[in-house]
A and B are shown apart, each in its own frame.
Chain A
Amino acid sequence: MARTLAMFTDTSLCIGCRACQVACKQWNELPMEEPEWTGSYQNHAHFTDKTYRLVRFIEKPQANGELQWLLMSDVCKHCAQAGCLDACPTGAIHRTEYGTVNINQDVCNGCRYCVSSCPFGVVAFNHDTGRANKCTFCNDRIHNGLGPACAKTCPTESIQFGFRDELAAKADKRVAKLKEMGYANAQLYGADTNGPLGGLNAFFLLLDRPSTYNLPEKPLLPQRNVFVDSVLAIGAALVVGVGAMVSFRERGGKGGGDA
């Protein structure tokens, strides 16, 4: 496996120009959509099957009654432990040699299990093609020596592309710097490979708690439930089985023992 690639989105540098959102649309030839009134500059409210990069405009009330802008260019996190990938029954969702998570459109069969298995609600079902869509990390570009279109176009280097370890080191320094500057809540989201989901290969520097950005504080892998729930179901099967056995056993005849 090649060295893991990553995108580091430093939201403290984002100016909300949405060039990333446009570049993503253009490179990936994603069709236009009806604009959506969200009550803010943000458009759309969330990722869609045709919007893989989305600049979030969060208006946070301050103590003095005024609003503070929090801007964040959001994207698929390309989780190291990816719920969508584990859920995919066809193998369409796979990990590339660069550590990114991609959906092979020819293999996806439209079951939509991945849609419900993403802790961030990223994967979206495309009703036109009947398949699931999400950010590809510009798979075609990174395989040809180019960074993702969003990172390439970002005018403030809010979105940076590179090797994961190098970017994470850079992110640590940036957080320290911001804290020094008085941004007490500055924090990294997904940079730690020992953190939730084994770290996110698209990680973020946030200026506030994750929940302020509508991100889960502690994203969990959905498949964590499979073992316990299966054991409980097996327990239920034993009870049901014994009940049926007792009901059907011929009195004084054969039977008994366990199933």
Chain B
Amino acid sequence: MLRSPEWHLLIVWYFFLGGIAGGAYFTAAIADNFGGPRDRNVVRTGYILSLLMIGVCGMLLILDLGTPSRFLNMLGAFKFKDPMSIGAWMLGVFGLFAFVSSALSLGGDEARAGLRRKWSLVGTIFGFFLASYTGVLLSATALPFWSDARLMGALFLASGASTGMAAISLLLYLSGDSAGEGFKKVKRADRFAIVFEMAVLVLFLVLLGGAAAPLVSGHLAPLFWGGLVALGLVVPLLLDLLGGMRVPAVVPAVLVLVGGFVLRYVIVMSHA
């Protein structure tokens, strides 16, 4: 006789966009610290994307409360072992990192690059946190499937990485910046993230065994197999590997984003 928290689309969107925010940020920060001058478009796009996304995320969470001003109540407590409490605080901390990194990446002046790199390297931790804590939050409930999934946080992190990188590549493509070295590198990183996500997903399902039924055989199964596994992971990876085919680079990026949304949707809605 367990009870659903009645989390619906607002939370699905939050989990999805929060993953993109975190993934885009740590991708940009890693590109900033380990890449070269030709990756500057990736760096700037990633930082600004994460800042915009985190703003949307905050609004989604506040809307979900019904009475917006009640979000202030979250600030009256700090509970270290509570994913929701830590998450609310880290959302603010991450927002600060994304804001400063974005601000320091604007303008042609690279004099502030050193400071930005150091700052963003620290921020990477919060990017990883934001992309993964929502999975841990779900597994720290009393509900079957959610609480049985030991790799929920890891899976959300991998998905945050693949969708964050896909979002950056999509933005670069749309802004006509898809010929450069940065675009190639972010695609390469995304390919790795997709493969890793597939590996984590397989392990996730194997570890769950029968508890994975809501995903693999319930009414959400067609969406899971079709939307996430096939369209969101296998197809974009194949399109990417068989680069010779005449498919615009925008297609795999969009598919990965759709897959990331479907992942959050099927998991959250399995207890709607």
A222 contacts across to B, CB distance below 8 A: 140-142, 147
Contact A233 B2 (CB under 8 A): no
Stretch from B26-34, B217-225, B237-245 that touches the partner: B26-34
A206 within 8 Å of B (CB atoms):
no
Provide the bound-state CA to CA distance between A155 and B66, in Å: 42
Least Cβ–Cβ distance between B224 and chain A, in angstroms = 20
Main secondary structure of the interface of B (DSSP, over half): helix
Contact B73 A90 (CB under 8 A): yes
Contact B192 A232 (CB under 8 A): no
Contact B82 A89 (CB under 8 A): yes
Least Cβ–Cβ distance between B6 and chain A, in angstroms = 6
B147 CB contact (under 8 Å) in A225, A232, A248, A253: A225
Within 93-129 of B, Cβ neighbours of A (below 8 Å) are at 121, 124, 128
Contact A255 B3 (CB under 8 A): no
Contact A229 B150 (CB under 8 A): yes
A46 within 8 Å of B (CB atoms):
yes
The number of chain B residues with a CB under 8 A from chain A is 70
B65 CB contact (under 8 Å) in A110, A119, A226, A233: A110
Least Cβ–Cβ distance between A38 and chain B, in angstroms = 12
Nearest CB to that of A251 among chain B residues? B36
Using known A-B contacts A121-B1, A223-B82, A230-B136, determine if residue A249 contacts B142 with beta carbons closer than 8 Å: no
Within 124-155 of B, Cβ neighbours of A (below 8 Å) are at 124, 128, 132-133, 135-137, 139-143, 146-147, 150-155
Nearest CB to that of A90 among chain B residues? B73
B88 contacts across to A, CB distance below 8 A: 89
B214 within 8 Å of A (CB atoms):
no
Nearest CB to that of B154 among chain A residues? A236
Nearest CB to that of B125 among chain A residues? A237
B188 contacts across to A, CB distance below 8 A: 247
Least Cβ–Cβ distance between A111 and chain B, in angstroms = 6
As a 0/1 sequence over residues 42 to 67 of chain A, the CB contacts with chain B under 8 angstroms (1 = contact) are: 00001000000000000000000000
A259 within 8 Å of B (CB atoms):
yes
Provide the bound-state CA to CA distance between A244 and B28, in Å: 10
Least Cβ–Cβ distance between B13 and chain A, in angstroms = 16
Contact A243 B141 (CB under 8 A): no
Most buried by B among A92, A111, A118: A111
B271 contacts across to A, CB distance below 8 A: 116
A154 within 8 Å of B (CB atoms):
no
A77 contacts across to B, CB distance below 8 A: none
The number of chain A residues with a CB under 8 A from chain B is 58
Least Cβ–Cβ distance between B83 and chain A, in angstroms = 6
Contact B85 A89 (CB under 8 A): yes
Contact B185 A247 (CB under 8 A): yes
A195 within 8 Å of B (CB atoms):
no
Within 108-128 of A, Cβ neighbours of B (below 8 Å) are at 108-113, 115-125
Provide the bound-state CA to CA distance between A238 and B4, in Å: 33
Nearest CB to that of A236 among chain B residues? B154
B79 CB contact (under 8 Å) in A89, A214, A229, A254: A89
Provide the bound-state CA to CA distance between A246 and B195, in Å: 15
Contact A123 B3 (CB under 8 A): yes
Contact B70 A110 (CB under 8 A): yes
Least Cβ–Cβ distance between A45 and chain B, in angstroms = 8
Provide the bound-state CA to CA distance between A151 and B71, in Å: 37
Provide the bound-state CA to CA distance between A124 and B133, in Å: 24
Nearest CB to that of A56 among chain B residues? B1
A245 contacts across to B, CB distance below 8 A: 30, 34
CB within 8 Å of A: which residues of B? 1-7, 26-27, 30-31, 33-36, 39, 42, 64-67, 70-71, 73-74, 76-77, 79, 81-85, 87-88, 121, 124, 128, 132-133, 135-137, 139-143, 146-147, 150-158, 161, 165, 185-186, 188-189, 192-193, 196, 200, 271
Q: What are 25 of the A-B contact pairs (CB < 8 Å)?
A: A46-B3, A88-B79, A91-B77, A109-B71, A121-B2, A122-B3, A220-B142, A223-B81, A225-B136, A229-B139, A229-B140, A229-B154, A232-B150, A232-B151, A232-B154, A233-B132, A233-B133, A236-B155, A240-B128, A241-B30, A244-B31, A247-B185, A247-B189, A248-B34, A249-B35
Closest 8 CB pairs of A and B: A233-B153, A91-B77, A109-B70, A247-B189, A236-B154, A89-B85, A243-B192, A116-B5
